[in-house]
Amino acid sequence: MSSRHAPWVGWFRVMLVLARRMQPHLAMSRSRTSEGRRRLGPGTILQGRYCLERLLAQGGLGAVFVAADLVSYQTVAVKVPLTRGVAPEQIAQRYRYEALTMAAVRHPNIVQVLDAGQDGDLPFQVMQYVPGKTVKALIHDSCERRRTLGLSVVSAILRQVAAGLDAMHEGGVVHGDVKPSNMIIDSELHVAICDFGLVRSVGAGGGTVPPPEVGVLGGTPLYVAPELLLGAELPPKQRYLRDSYSLGASLYEMLTGQPPFVGRTLDEIVRGPLLVPPPRGVDRRPDLPAAIDAVVVRALAKAPAQRYRSCEQLSLAVDQLEQLSRRRRAAHRSEERRRSLDRGGTMPYGIAERASELC
């Protein structure tokens, strides 16, 4: 084959990998029917212990209910599958894998998986219930009000998510699907990582321990790292950098209101991570520090070795910019007050009173 066709060979490989990953997912979606599907709702009791109270969230492959644990008298979240394309035993095995994998990781910024079981032919998983909304919903609400999240808020969210992810990595676990919709934030700005449907356990020898296959796409295209789109296998020490990339994509969305690479088709979306340089955040939001672009570029580097070595490193880089920005704003306000006094103006309400008390 001539060299002029070489780029198309690589691109064909990318689309072939995506097609193979999506095929079982689409087959599962087509296989869903109303026949034989168990009706779930308030009052349904699973395994004589978990009483469903209300629907919390629902996606293409599953639903999450708020439930009461009749043994511990605690409020929990219960996840159940909605598809019939995979045998219940296979899904139950996957749920148990998630529970066993996450049992080794305990952290305040990680939603805990408490139990996994099967009620008749219905597999289910029990998780810690964390009240609040997703960071994705927070971003959407801000955009609806034609506002953006402040850098201090973004920094606080990023700091907590990074701490949770690094705890997972230290425990030998890769999350695999980091994105704003898998981060829950409450009214006190406490954040917890959730949804462990794509977690992978890295064995002591550095190899990834494969989970039971349930035929789902390995990540969300808007946030997935380039090497996963290519189907490339990373060296053991770089396996966790796929989460770092996804966190960088989530950071960009928190700052600007949209993911770094968007498109109307899957083909357009995957071109970005593979071929297009990361977009400049300051182009969409001029009030951001100019140095934020360098942080985003490193976080979204095509080559894993060029990214931040840990999620904490990415978080610290944003923290430093936020602190610098805060000091500059404080200095600007101080200068404005000084100029106002030089012009014979009055100090803002409250400052004059406090000054008089100190005299």
Active-site choice (177, 195, 243, 319): 177
Cβ contacts of residue 130 below 8 Å, gap of 6+? Answer: 77, 111, 184, 186, 192, 194
Find residue 69's DSSP bridge partners. Answer: 50
Q: Are strands 133-134 and 173-174 parallel, antiparallel or unpaired?
A: unpaired
- Does the annotation count 177 as an active-site position? yes
Encoding tokens for residue 285? 């939001």
By C-alpha distance, which of 53, 168, 184, 175 is closest to 130? Answer: 184
Count Cβ neighbours within 10 Å for each residue of 181-203 and write b for 16 or more, e otherwise: bbbbbeeeeebbbbbbbbbbbbe
Residues 26, 19, 209, 305, CA torsion sign: negative
d(CA 171, CA 38): 37
**DSSP states of 169-232 as a string?**
HHTTEE-----GGGEEE-TT--EEE---TT-EEEPTTS-EEPPPP----SS-TTT--HHHHTTP
d(CA 276, CA 298): 14
Decide: residue 327, CB within 10 A, 0-12 exposed, 13-18 middle, 19+ buried.
exposed
State the helix-helix crossing angle for 311-342 and 292-299, rounded to 10 degrees: 170
**Residues marked as catalytic:** 177
